[in-house]
Each structure stands twice: as structure tokens, then as C-alpha cells.
Structure 1
Amino acid sequence: MINGYRAGSLTQSGTLVDAIRQHSEIRPHEFAYGLVSSAGDIETSLTYRDLMARSNAIAASLQRICKPGDRAILLFPGGPDFITSFLGCLIASVIAVPGYPVREPGSSGRPARNFERLCSIIENARPVVALANQPVVERRAELSVASDAFSGLHWIAVERIATAEVPVAPIVAPCDTAFLQYTSGSTAAPKGVTISHANLLSLFKDMDASCLHDQSSVMVTWIPVYHDMGLIYGTLLPLYFGFPVYSLLPAAVLQQPVRWVQAISRFRGTHSAAPNFAFELCVQRVSQASRMELDLSSWQVCINGAETVRPQTLQRFADAFASCGARHDVIRPGYGLAECTLKVTSVAARQPARRVRLDAAACERGRVVQLHPCSVDTTGRSFQSCGWTHIGADIRIVDPTTGEECDDDALGEIWVRSPSVAQGYWNQPESTVATMQARLVTGEGPFLRTGDLGFVLDHELYIAGRVKDLIIIRGRNLYPQDIESAAEAAHSAVRLGRCCAFAIDLGDREGLVLVAEVERTERHGFDADEAFGKLMEAIAREHEVQLHDVVFVRTGTFPLTSSGKVQRQAAREEYRAGSLQVVARMRAATTSEQIVVPDPFQERLISLRRWLTDFVASRLHIPATQVSSAESFLSLGLDSLALLEMTGTLEERLARVLPATIALEHPDIDRLSRYLAEHTS
């Protein structure tokens, strides 16, 4: 029971807004949402009455500009203004489009690195209005100059809206589009998944059945609100069922992963979610001393999804945090995608998270052959169960070429038929038909083609790979064409059409590899160091990911089809086999150093500069003597996570909170070390 009624008891004919309105009438003064500061305190909070009042005011403001079905782009990093703006859109029957936040003045003279992708989303969704905070609204002229996508938008600074306004309540049908969830990958052709009110309620029912929410549930979330897991599970579901949400900004957690588990300990969190890499960060970067201060006994369920779930991660996390009271089975593996609103399957709370080992050679032939648990075969491949559906979804394993359903012992593409499957892609009817209205060779359907390979054993789904060339790193879907395009534009030595990107398994994560053929005109006098630097800078800037390995191959040796198309799978296999004809390569490292901060100023400055140099050198696996202190961190090849890790380590050593954007405000070793030395006593 939650304050007199059971979670999930609201009728499925209602909507998210209906549920929150009911909470505001029954228990108006109860805590609904809180934004947690980097120091661990509640920075801003909303009761259910606050939530409805602010959302209604925004809805009334939208209705003066928009008609039902118009779109509104939301430009927030998260927090209460995003939540009330999103709900305001639902109340006004305006289709919400969660977008990337735009960096505010003072942090940088240029927009965020996701700017180009944001422009593509706006061009596809064609919103009428942009909802943002006042500092971003004040930049509308600058943004319009930077991109025509921003021209013609009505801008609303939500904090300036009076709360006394009351909106008209349009009639909402279950099949009406509630919001567009853009897939996190292609900048050239973004796909807006159309999520209906019925899709959302189906997903809530699914998650509630598997995660066991009740009156004592407390959500602690930090995943970005423009990510489906952060928005739908981390924020909307608890507001629907009526239990509190404590939200941290993503940069704060990536900077200091301990903040996530500290929030769970402090606010007695019961539910949360994160991609696999976040659990690895906690194992690696939450110190034993910090663990001794944690009480994680309240934590019941934490969904592990959005990227490959790794069995060894579950075990390492359980071992590392057992002394904090964390249940050994707190991590619940799951599988899903935006096209299915969020989730397809998950391992239910209190159920074993099974794993199996298969014969590797059989896997390569597309067959499922289990190895005996006591088998000494070291070549076997381990797979983690992602559970099963909790709403009776129809899940099939299908031959992606023929459309025939596979035998029980075969790997194939995962097809899904479920009330959670979205309505389609916004303004992309051909993609909608191909992906979301697929039919078996028998005519049965329609099904969602997930593009993922998997198999079913004992009524549980296992993910084996991807049919498509999608790259998933740190929970983000990256399309290889985008990486390749950025690489080709970054340096003239990369031959056009002779470049490919793919991911490789590094054991505890996936690493991004780029293989490129040297342009014929660049063969003589080829400057590998310069090319590596340009490539790493471009990929870090445009895609916020660090290259694990860059390989230049001899002209004329790049794997192509007979029609001249890139063979990514062949390139990956040659890379793994060591058979590429390598001209030059550069591989990044993954270790980091610790810093000791002495006094006075000159000693601090020298020590800081030395540590920053060593950090960069260790990350890039190059001698410290080759690190330029005047060259930008991005030019050197560090990605956004590396910069946040660097900032987080500096925070620990300096015993002070640093802005997540500090490495962008002071973008090289010289400027950052001087700033820190001047502002550290």
C-alpha cells in the first residue's frame, strides 16, 4: 500500500497526469521530487501540490502558443524545471521532446558538444516552442546564428511563469503521442520514437511487476532525463505510483561515483538503475574508507541495462559492497530499447540472475550448445540472462535474413510484439514499417525488429550480439557511420570510404576501435602523431567517447565488399586476428594516478601540473614528455568521462567541490593547474 492505495492500482484508462493529479489531491504536501546537490543535500524539492501547480502554469503558457499535437523541445540538464516542463506538455497535449541541455554562458563561449545532434533533433521534430531556463533563453539570438534549426522557435523561460494560471484540460486518448524519445546514435538521421500514453502505462505495469514497488519505495536516480531509462524509470514511474524521487545530475555522479551510493545510503533508497559501466566505476573508485560509512541495506533493486550486462561486474559489485549491507542480488539485469518504450525483459526482484556458458565454435555457427558447469573448456562464451517479460510480450528468435522463426537451439534476431512497442518513428514511415511492423514469413505480426541477436533458454532471454553495427559504450548507442564521418573530416590522411569503427570486448567494458586506410597522397611524409591527435580530438568533441585503439593500414588493404562498401565485420575479425597490414597505431591506456597537493602556491602549481601531465600520459599510454601542457585536453584525446574522472579525483585530493565543467572552462594543463593553485589554500 502507498498511503492508502496499492502501487499499480490506478486504472489503466488514466494517464500519468491523472495519477499525479490524484496524488496532489489526496496528499498535497507530501514530498514528490528532490534534486540532490553535489554535497549530498536537497537543493530543490517539490511536493505533489507544487508539482501540479508548476506543471499547470507551464501548460497554460504553452496553450497560448501551441495547439494540441505541436512539439516542444526541452533544453534542461534535469531537475525540477525539466519535470514540470515535461508534465506541462502532457497537460497541454503538446508533444514533449527531451533534448540535450545547452551549455550556459560563463562555462564556455560555444554551445555543448551535442549541439549538432540537438540541431538534427529539432529539424526532425520541428518544435514550435523551446522550454529552458532564463540564461539559455537569453542566448536564443546566438543559437539562431549558429544554426537555422533554432530560428522561428518561441522561447519560454519556465522560472518566470506565474503559478496562478490554470490550463484547459484537453481530452487525451490512450493512443495519442505523449512524447518523442530520440534514439541515442545517429546525428545525421535521428529517429524520434513516438511513445503513446498507452505505451507508457504498459511499461509502468511491466516495471512494477518485476521491481516490486510498495509504500516504502524510494527512487534514487542520476541517469540523464534525455535517456529513456533516466526519464521513464528513474523519474516518471515513481511519480506515477506516488513514491519519492531523489535525483542527482549525471555529471556529479560521473565526477564522483560515490555520490550515487551515498544518496542511496542517506535517503534510504530502495530502487535505482544504471548502465553496466557505472557499477564498474563504483567498484574502482569508491574507496574502502567511503564504503565503511555506507549503509546500503535499504537497497532492493537496481536495474542494470542500456548496455551489455557483464556477469563479472555483478560479482565484483556484490563482493565490493557486501560489507555495506548491499544485497548480493540487488543488481537486476535487463534488456530493452526505446522502440519498446524502455524494457523488453528483466530478471525479477528476488529471482536468480542466471548465466550460461556456450561452446564458442557453435556460437559462431549460430547454434546454442551449453557447456557443462564443470567443463574445463576455456574458450566457452559466458552469457548473462536478462530474464523474461512480465506483461506477456510475444518474444521470438527469428532468422534476420529469411524471416523464419529459429529452432530452439539457434541464435537469431530478437523480435517483439507487446503493448509497450512504440507507435513508430516520427516523420519516418519507411523506417517505421521496416522496423516496427515486421512480419514472419508466415505473415504473423506485426513485430518490432530489435536488431539484436539473442537466444532463449528455460524461458529466459540472453543477448548474444547485434545484427546491426550499433556500438554501445557506457550506455550510449553510437552509430559507426557517424564515428567514421567525423574521422574522415578530422584529417586528410584518412581515406574517404576506407574507414570503419567498431567495438571490442575489453572484459569489463567495450572499447572503440577505428581502422583507417592511409590516403594515397599522404603515404609519403605521413605524420602519425598529428593524425592520432586530430582523430582523438574530433571523436572526443563530437561523440564524447575516447578511442581505445586507432589503426592506420596500408593503402589498398582495407576490407571492402565487391561493390566497394566497408566490411566492418571483416575489419573487426582481421583486427582480432592481428592480420591487418598496420602502418601505425596508437592505443589508449585505462589507468590513472593519484595526486598529493602540497603548499605554498608554487609547490601547488608544480605538483598540479605534474599530476595533470601524468594523468593525461597514463590515459593515452604515452611518455609524459610527449604531453603538451598548452594543448587542450580534447586535442590530446581525452573524452568527457576521462575529464570527469580527472575532476573527481582532484575533488578528493583538494577536499572541495569542483564544477563538472571546470576542465572545459580551463581546457589545458597550464590553465587548469594555475586556476587550481590560485584557488586552493
Structure 2
Amino acid sequence: MNWRDVLSGTAQERPHATAFRFHSEEPGEPEHLDWAGLDARARAVAAHLADLGLAGRSAVLLFPAGLDYVAAFFGCLYAGVVAVPAYPPSRNARSTERLAAIVRDSGADTALTTAVIRDRLAPRLASADGVPPLRLVATDAMSTEDAPAWRAPRIGEDATAFLQYTSGSTSTPRGVVLSHGNLLHNTAMIGRVFGLDTGMRGVSWLPMYHDMGLIGSVMGTVRAGGTMSLMAPSTFARDPLRWLGVVAEERATVTGGPNFAYDLAVERTTEEQRAALDLSSWQVAYNGAEPVRPASLHRFAEAFAVSGFRPEAFLPCYGLAEGSLLVTGGPAGTGFRTCEPPAGSGAAGELVASGVLPPEQRLEVVDPETRQPVADGEVGEVWVAGPSVARGYFNRTDAVADTFGALVEGGDGTGFLRTGDLGFLSGEGEARELYVTGRRKDLIIVRGRNHYPQDIELTAERCSPALRGNGGAAFSVTGADGGEQLVVVQELIHGHGLADPAELARAIQAKVAEQHEVRPHAVVLIRTASLPRTSSGKVARHACRAAYLAGELLVTAVHADEEQPAAAAGGAAAELPVPAPGDREA
């Protein structure tokens, strides 16, 4: 079986049922695409790709959010073309550099897009330094009249479906090689854990160039045969109420996002607006891709109780691109559970369980040094094995043995994926759940004690409403004495209203020292929206550390235990205007 079989089968069974809707930036009637229409458009795209001789080769997808992305992606799967999901680069140099790195690594010489994007991008890419030549092909102009003449190639489960480029450094992107079989297995698991079927009604604002949006929202819907309403991430970011409004209007049963989405929904809506919503149909509110905070879930449940939202709908989950998407989650309808971290682990505060271990694959928590399994309740590295695990990184054979084929000491010879995440197991039998404590590479060790950056970042951002939520990065640097020192970087909101930001930096230093028993060597307050992030919006701690050491942060205020070296000072502070109190943003 392959993904052409899945989509064409649903098109035959339910040709006129709605498969996808797309809600544009402006309110109004959404675009619709039924199953027969999606199948026809995918066939038309596949026919043109075959004529271009792209079968077995890769093609970059450079679409804005919309139904054209969905049709072109499945056109690639139909034709045996290896899709490379990406997004049209902005005028920001970093965006163009990332696209160039992906094109070089994937070896693609063709990009699929819309006619509007093609005409806009062509001159820019031609003049951009470092971007390999790309043939831009507009798929929105392709006629479905060619669809009946198309002849399907033979595609097995082992065939590569697409390359998922992970968020991270622009200079060394890593393309996760995902096969049809990987994705069939993972979406079947998602369907079982989330309870998806033909009656599902979903809403997603997640970007389709990342695994959570593409695999979870788009491919998961195709596998279940249900209906999904899509919108652009920018639509959600501009007005989270629009997301919840569509959930209410369409009686959606499943939707969600990273933890920050739930915080933003509370911050950007009023009690009156919440009272006008009916969220009683919402059965699965998934939360993943970043640390899940219990306070966020409690706050959202309390704020939207008036809307009919039920806390048992929460479904925290854990996954990663190298495992296709989902690793643990659920069971659905049971809400979320918390526990205190193990003593001496370095984690602080209550942790939210990331769900039970699915029977479809194996999960071990392993001491990363000895490679021996640790007892339940002890922190180790999370290792995963099963049909959802990717075969490796494209053109990175050196990473296969240790990252994708790690062996447990004294085990049965099964090769495991080393996730790089730390966590522990708790519970009995089938109720054992995974608790993720953080990334191994992000762990901060000062004077022999472990500290998780997300815990320190949360403490810092709670010090003042003038600080942007999810806008901090904690990391360590090497001091003059050779020891590790803690640095906290935190964004201020625009129009923060502070007469002396340095005073707040001092308060953050004191609060972190009190809560975590480690004193930050430096607290750096920077301009809003200037914190380095990955293409999926996650805080890029390593990039932030590099910018700090290079003096490239847009600094507003610094408080340090001693004078900062030139490499970390960043020159003169870039002062923000001090507005009237009424101009402050929430």
C-alpha cells in the first residue's frame, strides 16, 4: 500500500464529501475541496511532473498556506517524486539562506509553487547569492483534464515519500528520509490514539512545511477520511479567536498546537468573546512540539469553561521528525496528568505526562553513557524503535549507525533512534507514561548541578508583564576561570513602559537564583521579536548563545556580575522608547 492507494480509495468511496477547507486571512466563505477533486488535482500534478521527468527525483514545495500545497504534495506522492516541503523565502536573509541550504542538500533543481509566487520569486532567487538554480513550476495552472491520461507508477511502502528538513542551523540542515511505510504506520497510530475516523472534523493553523501540520493535520486527515479546515499560521497569530471561532462554527472535534497557542488564546480573548463561543464539540485538544506547561492547561481550561471546553479533551503528546511525528500520546478523553520530577534530576516544578507508550513500537529510557536501560522514575535518554522511525538523514550515512541504529547494552540487537530528549517513565503496565524533562544538548550544568533551560526561562518571564511570553533563552558560557556560567536572554514586549529595564534584569537574576539555586552571570533584555528562532518558531538556544558571544543581540539592558567582555556586550544598548502606560501591549 502507498499514499496514492489511500487517497484514491477514499475518493472512490466518498467522492463528494468535503476533504479540506481553507479559511483565508479575511473572514468569509472558505475554499472547499472534496475527495474526488483532491484526487483529480493530485493526478493532474503527477501527470505534469512525469512529463518533466521528475519521477524518482526531488522537488521543493514553495507554497503559501492553502489547498494548492495539499494538491501539489499529493501530486508528488502519486508521481513518485520526493517532495521537499519548504516555504517561500521572505526578504530576510536568513530565510533565503535556509532555502539555499535545503536546495543544495536535497539536490533539487525544481520547485513547485503558484503562478503568483513564481513570478515574484524568480527575479529574487536569480540574483540571490548562494541559491542554486531552480526551475519554478506553477501547479495552480495545471488542468485536471490531463488527469485521466496519467498512468500510475509502481510505488512500494519502502519508497521515499518526502524529506522533512528539521528546524535548526541554516548552514547544515538535515533532511529526515520518510518512506510511504513510515507515514502509513505513524498516521495509523495517530488515528488510533486520537480516535480519528470519517466523522472527524479538524481545524489546523499549523504550517504545512513542518511535520505537525503536514503529517498530523493533512496526512492524518487523508488516512482517516475525515474533514480538515486549514488556515495560515499568520491568521492564527494575528487573531487566535479566529481559530476558536472556526472550531465553534464547524463543530470541530480535533485541533491543537504547541503550548504557546493555548497561552495566546487566553491572552488575546476577552470574557465576552469566550462566552459567545461553543467549544463543546472539541474532543481532542492536542499539545506538543514544545514543553507542555501545567499552568497553561489549567489557565486555558478555566478561561474557556464558559465556552463549554472540557479539560478531559487535553491530549499532551510527544514526537519528533525522526520518528515521523507521534511517539507517545493519550489516551484520548482522559485529560492530562502531572507529577514532580525525580529528586536530583535538575528539573523543577510539575511536569505534564506526554502520554502512554503505544503498543505499535518500542520505547526505552537509557543511560546515554552506559547505554543501559534505567529504572522507571529515573531520568535517561528516550530511545524509540518501530516502523515509524525514519531510515536516516538524506546524504548523512555517518548518522545512521549511532543516531538511528543505537544498540541497548545487553539488548536483543534491535536498533533504536536516539531522540536526544531526556525523560523518565512512570506508572504501571499499559498505563506507563513518558515524562519529558528536556533536550540533552540544552542541559545546563553549573558546579555539577543540572538545570533545564525551559524551567529557568519560565521563572524569568514570570517576573514582569513587560516580558514577552515564550521569549527567553537560557544557556551556559565558559567563564574566564574555565567554569560554566548561566546566561539568561529575555525579550521585552513592544512598548514595555519601563523607565529602567536594567532594574528588571537585576530582579530576574535574583528570582532565578532564589528559585533554582544558580545565579545567572548575566541577564540580557532584548528587543521584542529579536530572539533567534527556528523556522517552526521554536527558541533557537544555540543560535542565541552564538549571537550573545558575537555581540549580535539587539540589547536594551544588561545586568551582569562583572563587566561583560567585548564579545558579549554587543556595543551600545539599543534603547527602546518609553511610551505612556496606555500604550503597553499585553
The alignment's TM-score, normalised by the length of structure 2, stands at 0.78
Instruction: Tell whether the 8 Å contact from 2:191 to 2:224 is kept in structure 1 after alignment.
Output: no
- Cα distance in 2, alignment partners of residues 118 and 550 from structure 1: 28
Instruction: Tell whether the 8 Å contact from 1:100 to 1:114 is kept in structure 2 after alignment.
Output: no
User: 1:326 deviation in Å?
Assistant: 0.8
Q: Is 2:54 the counterpart of 1:86?
A: no
Q: Is 2:527 the counterpart of 1:637?
A: yes
Amino acid at match of 2:123: A
User: 1:508 deviation in Å?
Assistant: 5.4
- Cα distance in 2, alignment partners of residues 419 and 291 from structure 1: 42
Describe the SS at the equivalent of 1:149: coil
Equivalent runs, 1:162-177 vs 2, <5 Å: 162-166=143-147, 167-177=150-160
- Cα distance in 2, alignment partners of residues 164 and 560 from structure 1: 69
Equivalent residue, structure 2, for 1:427 = 395
Alpha-carbon distance change, 281 to 112 in structure 1, aligned in 2, over 3 angstroms: farther
Equivalent residue, structure 2, for 1:529 = none
* 1:656-679: CA deviation from partner (whole Å, max 9, x where unpaired): xxxxxxxxxxxxx99xxxxxxxxx
- Cα distance in 2, alignment partners of residues 587 and 305 from structure 1: 23
Instruction: Tell whether the 8 Å contact from 2:491 to 2:531 is kept in structure 1 after alignment.
Output: no
Instruction: Tell whether the 8 Å contact from 2:49 to 2:55 is kept in structure 1 after alignment.
Output: no
- Cα distance in 2, alignment partners of residues 546 and 384 from structure 1: 17
Equivalent residue, structure 2, for 1:31 = 18
User: 1:552 deviation in Å?
Assistant: 12
Alpha-carbon distance change, 560 to 174 in structure 1, aligned in 2, over 3 angstroms: farther
User: 1:416 deviation in Å?
Assistant: 0.7
- Cα distance in 2, alignment partners of residues 281 and 338 from structure 1: 25
Instruction: Tell whether the 8 Å contact from 2:182 to 2:388 is kept in structure 1 after alignment.
Output: yes
User: 1:241 deviation in Å?
Assistant: 1.7
Equivalent residue, structure 1, for 2:107 = 126
* 1:553-582: CA deviation from partner (whole Å, max 9, x where unpaired): 9xx945747xxxxxxxx333xx48xxxxxx
User: 1:503 deviation in Å?
Assistant: 4.1
Amino acid at match of 1:455: F
- Cα distance in 2, alignment partners of residues 354 and 505 from structure 1: 18
User: 1:292 deviation in Å?
Assistant: 1.4
* 1:123-143: CA deviation from partner (whole Å, max 9, x where unpaired): 111113100111221232320
Alpha-carbon distance change, 418 to 262 in structure 1, aligned in 2, over 3 angstroms: same
Amino acid at match of 2:289: A
Equivalent residue, structure 2, for 1:354 = 337
User: 1:308 deviation in Å?
Assistant: 0.4
Instruction: Tell whether the 8 Å contact from 1:217 to 1:269 is kept in structure 2 after alignment.
Output: yes
Q: Is 2:195 the counterpart of 1:217?
A: no
User: 1:547 deviation in Å?
Assistant: 6.0
User: 1:392 deviation in Å?
Assistant: 3.1
Q: Is 2:485 the counterpart of 1:571?
A: yes
Describe the SS at the equivalent of 2:49: helix
| Identity fraction in percent | 35
Equivalent residue, structure 2, for 1:318 = 301
Equivalent residue, structure 2, for 1:406 = 374
- Cα distance in 1, alignment partners of residues 310 and 47 from structure 2: 46
Q: Is 2:346 the counterpart of 1:467?
A: no
* 1:284-323: CA deviation from partner (whole Å, max 9, x where unpaired): 1111111111000110002100000111111111111111
Instruction: Tell whether the 8 Å contact from 2:198 to 2:224 is kept in structure 1 after alignment.
Output: no
Equivalent runs, 1:212-611 vs 2, <5 Å: 212-358=195-341, 361-364=343-346, 381-442=349-410, 444-458=413-427, 459-469=432-442, 503-505=453-455, 548=472, 557-558=479-480, 560=482, 570-572=484-486, 575=487, 588-590=491-493
Describe the SS at the equivalent of 1:344: strand
Describe the SS at the equivalent of 1:114: helix
Instruction: Tell whether the 8 Å contact from 1:589 to 1:619 is kept in structure 2 after alignment.
Output: no
Describe the SS at the equivalent of 1:17: helix
Amino acid at match of 2:423: G
Equivalent runs, 1:120-159 vs 2, <5 Å: 120-138=101-119, 139-151=121-133, 153-159=134-140
Instruction: Tell whether the 8 Å contact from 1:57 to 1:164 is kept in structure 2 after alignment.
Output: yes
Instruction: Tell whether the 8 Å contact from 1:68 to 1:93 is kept in structure 2 after alignment.
Output: yes
Alpha-carbon distance change, 425 to 273 in structure 1, aligned in 2, over 3 angstroms: same
User: 1:546 deviation in Å?
Assistant: 8.6
Describe the SS at the equivalent of 2:30: strand
Alpha-carbon distance change, 134 to 39 in structure 1, aligned in 2, over 3 angstroms: closer
User: 1:40 deviation in Å?
Assistant: 3.6
- Cα distance in 1, alignment partners of residues 377 and 10 from structure 2: 49
User: 1:43 deviation in Å?
Assistant: 3.3
Amino acid at match of 1:266: E
- Cα distance in 2, alignment partners of residues 552 and 196 from structure 1: 38
Equivalent residue, structure 1, for 2:5 = 18
User: 1:410 deviation in Å?
Assistant: 1.8
Q: Is 2:519 the counterpart of 1:616?
A: no
CA-based RMSD? 3.1
Q: Is 2:45 the counterpart of 1:58?
A: yes
User: 1:149 deviation in Å?
Assistant: 2.7
Equivalent residue, structure 2, for 1:74 = 61
* 1:139-175: CA deviation from partner (whole Å, max 9, x where unpaired): 3232022034341x22211122122113321111111
- Cα distance in 1, alignment partners of residues 498 and 80 from structure 2: 48
User: 1:399 deviation in Å?
Assistant: 0.8
* 1:575-606: CA deviation from partner (whole Å, max 9, x where unpaired): 48xxxxxxxxx85435xxxxxxxxxxxxxxxx
Describe the SS at the equivalent of 1:42: coil
Amino acid at match of 2:434: L
Unaligned runs of 5+ in 1: 1-13, 104-109, 367-379, 472-501, 512-539, 562-569, 577-585, 591-614, 624-635, 643-668, 671-681
Instruction: Tell whether the 8 Å contact from 1:271 to 1:301 is kept in structure 2 after alignment.
Output: yes
Alpha-carbon distance change, 351 to 27 in structure 1, aligned in 2, over 3 angstroms: same
Describe the SS at the equivalent of 2:164: strand
- Cα distance in 2, alignment partners of residues 410 and 551 from structure 1: 24
- Cα distance in 1, alignment partners of residues 46 and 460 from structure 2: 42
Equivalent residue, structure 1, for 2:84 = 97
Say which is worse superposed, 25-34 or 39-48, in terms of deviation. Answer: 39-48
- Cα distance in 1, alignment partners of residues 423 and 179 from structure 2: 27
Amino acid at match of 1:121: I
- Cα distance in 2, alignment partners of residues 23 and 354 from structure 1: 37
- Cα distance in 2, alignment partners of residues 331 and 440 from structure 1: 33
Alpha-carbon distance change, 165 to 456 in structure 1, aligned in 2, over 3 angstroms: same
User: 1:61 deviation in Å?
Assistant: 1.0
Say which is worse superposed, 90-99 or 343-352, in terms of deviation. Answer: 343-352
Equivalent residue, structure 2, for 1:185 = 168
Number of residue equivalences:
492
Equivalent residue, structure 2, for 1:651 = none
Instruction: Tell whether the 8 Å contact from 1:66 to 1:128 is kept in structure 2 after alignment.
Output: no
Q: Say which one has the larger Rg.
A: 1
User: 1:407 deviation in Å?
Assistant: 2.5
- Cα distance in 2, alignment partners of residues 195 and 470 from structure 1: 29
- Cα distance in 2, alignment partners of residues 546 and 91 from structure 1: 40
Describe the SS at the equivalent of 1:456: strand
Instruction: Tell whether the 8 Å contact from 1:265 to 1:296 is kept in structure 2 after alignment.
Output: yes
Instruction: Tell whether the 8 Å contact from 2:197 to 2:225 is kept in structure 1 after alignment.
Output: no
User: 1:391 deviation in Å?
Assistant: 3.6
- Cα distance in 1, alignment partners of residues 52 and 297 from structure 2: 49
The alignment's TM-score, normalised by the length of structure 1, stands at 0.67
Alpha-carbon distance change, 510 to 31 in structure 1, aligned in 2, over 3 angstroms: farther
- Cα distance in 2, alignment partners of residues 551 and 216 from structure 1: 46
Instruction: Tell whether the 8 Å contact from 1:396 to 1:414 is kept in structure 2 after alignment.
Output: yes
Say which is worse superposed, 79-88 or 36-45, in terms of deviation. Answer: 36-45
User: 1:388 deviation in Å?
Assistant: 1.6
- Cα distance in 2, alignment partners of residues 255 and 119 from structure 1: 29
Instruction: Tell whether the 8 Å contact from 1:206 to 1:391 is kept in structure 2 after alignment.
Output: no
* 1:451-504: CA deviation from partner (whole Å, max 9, x where unpaired): 011111111111112212389xxxxxxxxxxxxxxxxxxxxxxxxxxxxxx944
- Cα distance in 1, alignment partners of residues 528 and 473 from structure 2: 13
- Cα distance in 1, alignment partners of residues 499 and 357 from structure 2: 43
User: 1:183 deviation in Å?
Assistant: 0.7
- Cα distance in 1, alignment partners of residues 399 and 223 from structure 2: 31
Instruction: Tell whether the 8 Å contact from 1:177 to 1:197 is kept in structure 2 after alignment.
Output: yes
- Cα distance in 1, alignment partners of residues 115 and 500 from structure 2: 43
Say which is worse superposed, 289-298 or 38-47, in terms of deviation. Answer: 38-47
